[in-house]
Amino acid sequence: MKISAKGRYAVTAMFDVAIHEYSGPVPLTAIADRQDISLSYLEQLFNKLRRAELVKSVRGPGGGYLLNKTKDEITIGEIILAVNENIDTTKCHNDDIGCQDGKRCLTHTIWHQLNHQISDFLNAITLGNMVENQEVLKVIERQAKKPIELPGELKNISVKSI
């Protein structure tokens, strides 16, 4: 099982919005630059994220995207689902349809249980959990072309003390 670029880029872009939205709407060009993701690909992803009501767009000068919920309400699983990413490890893709002539394969139960574990894991992690992670904070600092001022709840976390 492997999450495709679509799922990874969607999660990365949502992290970027969660980290930078404190200063206002985050333009896709800024995300594209910081995360090295194609602008046209980001536009496609953000259309899906907007339809799933995970982000909202702000038009005009100074426009961009903001989270439509709090960082603690958006899970990684939701983001992946919003961009139509499939994390299914079985080839039947459905409990009711068998993968061997209409019947379950020998290992179906194992892979089905793994799907549930992965889903539970991804749905237990929020953007809020991740933007407070020390490793993520190191990356934020590295990516910043100029020092950024972290929002209030993150100001007391020191990346340098790691």
pLDDT at residue 75 in the model? 96
What are the structural domains of the chain? 5-86+127-151 (1.10.10.10)
Give residue 158's pLDDT band: very low, low, confident or very high (50, 70, 90).
very low
Q: Dump pLDDT digits (tens) for 126-153.
A: 999 988 888 877 887 787 765 545 555 5
At a CB cut-off of 8 Å and minimum separation 6, what does 3 contact? Answer: 80, 85, 87
CB 24 within 8 A of CB 64: yes
At residue 136, φ and ψ (nearest 5 deg) are: -65, -40
pLDDT digits (tens, 9 = 90+) for 90-118: 666 555 566 777 777 888 888 888 888 99
Percent over 70 (pLDDT), the chain: 81
Q: How is residue 103 written in tokens?
A: 């019947």
The pTM score is 0.78
Q: Who contacts 39 (Cβ-Cβ below 8 Å, separation ≥6)? A: 28, 29, 32
Q: CA–CA separation, 113 vs 54, rounded Å?
A: 28
pLDDT at site 13? 96
159 Cα distance to chain centroid:
22
pLDDT: which is higher, 72 or 97: 72
Cα distance between residue 30 and residue 33, in whole Å: 5
Q: In terms of Cα–Cα distance, which of 22, 14, 73 is closest to 46?
A: 14
